[in-house]
Amino acid sequence: MQNRSSAHPNAKARIVPQNNEAEQALLGCVLIDEYAPNEILSMLAPEDFYTTAHQLIFEAMKNIYAENKPIDIITLVQQLESMGSMEAVGGINYLTSLSNIVPSASNYAHYLEIVRQNKLRRKIIDSANKIANVAYAGDEDPMSYAEKEIFALGEGNFRSTLKPISESVGEAIERMEMIERDPLFFKGIPTGFKMLDNLLNGFQNGDLIIIAARPGQGKTSIGMNFIQAAAFAERTTETGKKTPIRAAVFSLEMPAVQLARRMLCSVAKVDMTKANSGHLGSNEWNRLMLAKTKLDKANIYIDDTSNTSPVDIISKCRKLKRERGLDIVMIDYLQLMSAGKRVENRQQEISDITRTLKVAAKELNVPILLLSQLSRKVEDRKEKVPVMSDLRESGAIEQDADIIMFLYRQYSDNDKNISDEERNAVQLIIAKHRNGQTDTIDLTWHGAYVSFEEKDAALPKADKGGKTDNKPAPAEHLEEKPIPKDIAEAIEAEESEPVAARTREEILKVKPGSSEEMPF
């Protein structure tokens, strides 16, 4: 077998990791045992084999298996001849010898592991060489490139190669069949709004989602509503196991403690103005305590670094995904970011940022919510409903995004001459949806609770003294979990008593090390 080591006279010859005998034994197991192909063909790809002949043989076996035919010498010869590869693999004599390599397929798992480990070692060597070449060339940030290569190795995301359309078509049909059996199987991250979930089927992995509006329209609020709804829900894995959803928030505008205070008031349905001025009733304090308990258990991680770049964000996301898991990312907001490198102009910089984040969404296999400002020209028009051309600073935003949403409020909070219902009416305009239809969803803005609700959603009413007699009706988009018995009993015992000042201070302060702090 050809030695791929260096030919330099001063270099020590080293053979690339491979085991020809294990590859032959594994192919032999597929030929002699009708049950072995099920796991072997699903766990390996043709490029996992070292020799070209074995790659071609394995590719032929996968093609036969995809047609639901038995894999034996006869079908293998026919497939290789149709591929024009019979001579390249060594002819009928070599194929016959493979079936005689092993007496049984009982040890196929051992051979499989040897082939996989050698493939991984070759990939590590290849990545190390690429990293060294980038470091020598100096054309690209070597640290970022090295991190990307190592992360891909750890996740198993080796660069895909050209593959026949039959594989992708098969996967697409299989996905459709699974959706028909269980419509919720491929449901994405819940948005918290039923109509939006029906339209998008949740936030899908790999999507870059733009949420844009003019200042003061509620971009951060609806973004955090999305994050809260996701963190309070669970998702079902392919094995049927329910796991919590983990969210990362990168806030370039607000400190983490401000976001925490907003979330407390949003979840508890407590007037934030009263909370900031210290005019809350005992029932409202009790709801804050329940909200704090709920948020403590949520897997939300916040980074409030102001001057950051896509490379910094992606690096932190890779680390979080590797150590704790990651399901959704929110960035607030695009215009405060820098590309982290020299560019010709701001428009080019924004283009680089959105392109990098789209690639990151695909690499991390998570949806990325990217908040963005709209340009001022929308204010100069008679018709102020936003359109995609209003996206500020770059047309590349609409090209890179999979989904684009606009928040539109016809009236501001200062318009006191109209009814509350009209003033708080909001349209969530889905202007672009790469994989589905567009639509407009009617929402209601509750400024006191810094949150959006689907129209006509029930909320608690406070009396003039600031005390709430009615128990809070849970928001429809939040999946309520049972309150621990000890907490419920403590709250019931304190219903008629004022909450101690110490407790109030604990609620308003976000302690380091809690779920609101990013573990970087």
Please check whether residue 287 is in contact with residue 116, taking contact to mean a CB–CB distance below 8 angstroms. Answer: no
- Let me know the angle formed at the C-alpha of 276 by 264 and 423, rounded to the nearest 5 degrees: 80
Predicted local confidence at residue 49, as pLDDT: 92
Strands (E), 245-327: 247-251, 300-303
Topology given in CATH for the domain delimited by 20-132: DNAb Helicase; Chain A (1.10.860)
Q: Is 16 helix (H, G, I), strand (E, B) or coil?
A: coil
Kindly report, residue by residue over 466-518, the tens digit of the pLDDT. 444 433 333 333 333 444 454 445 444 444 444 444 444 444 444 444 444 44
Interatomic CA distance for residues 495 and 283, integer angstroms: 7
Predicted local confidence at residue 80, as pLDDT: 92
The tens place of each residue's pLDDT in the chain, 520 residues long, gives 444 444 555 555 678 889 999 999 999 988 888 777 677 877 788 888 999 999 999 989 888 887 778 888 999 999 999 989 998 998 999 999 998 888 887 888 888 889 988 998 888 888 888 888 888 887 777 777 787 777 667 655 444 556 677 777 877 787 777 777 766 666 788 898 989 988 888 899 999 999 998 888 889 999 999 999 999 888 776 666 778 899 999 998 888 888 888 888 888 888 888 888 888 888 888 888 888 888 888 889 999 888 788 888 888 888 888 888 899 999 988 888 887 666 677 788 888 888 889 988 988 889 999 998 887 877 777 777 888 877 866 667 878 889 999 998 888 777 778 887 888 888 899 999 988 898 999 998 888 888 898 876 545 444 444 444 433 333 333 333 444 454 445 444 444 444 444 444 444 444 444 444 444 4
Residue 253: active-site member: yes
- What homologous superfamily does CATH list for 194-508? P-loop containing nucleotide triphosphate hydrolases (3.40.50.300)
Q: What is the 3-state secondary structure (H, E, C) of 362-407?
A: HHHCCCEEEEEEECCHHHHCCCCCCCHHHECCCCHHHHHCCEEEEE
Q: Which residues contact 64 (CB under 8 A, 6 or more apart)?
A: 70, 71, 75, 76, 79
Predicted local confidence at residue 340, as pLDDT: 67
Identity of residue 206 = G
Q: Which of 22, 15, 27, 25 lies closest to 56 in space, CA to CA?
A: 27
Q: What is the 3-state secondary structure (H, E, C) of 26-81?
A: HHHHHHHCCCCHHHHHHHCCHHHCCCHHHHHHHHHHHHHHHCCCCCCHHHHHHHHH
Find the distance separating the first CA and the last CA of the chain, reported in whole Å.
47
Topology match between the domains 20-132 and 194-508:
no
pTM attached to this predicted model: 0.61
Interatomic CA distance for residues 267 and 20, integer angstroms: 60
Q: Which of the residues 47, 155, 253, 517 is marked catalytic?
A: 253
The conformation of residue 471, written as its DSSP 8-state character, comes to P
Interatomic CA distance for residues 254 and 256, integer angstroms: 6
Q: Which of 57, 402, 439 lies closest to 210 in space, CA to CA?
A: 402
CA distances from 227 to 255, 299, 368, 399, 508 (A): 16, 10, 11, 25, 20
Predicted local confidence at residue 520, as pLDDT: 47
Predicted local confidence at residue 469, as pLDDT: 40
Predicted local confidence at residue 282, as pLDDT: 84
List the alpha helices (DSSP H) in 187-244: 194-200, 219-231
Question: Per the structure block, which two tokens stand in for 168?
Answer: 């992708």
Domains of the chain by residue range: 20-132, 194-508
CA distances from 364 to 146, 206, 269, 322, 426 (A): 16, 7, 34, 10, 32
Kindly report, residue by residue over 319-363, the tens digit of the pLDDT. 888 888 899 999 988 888 887 666 677 788 888 888 889 988 988
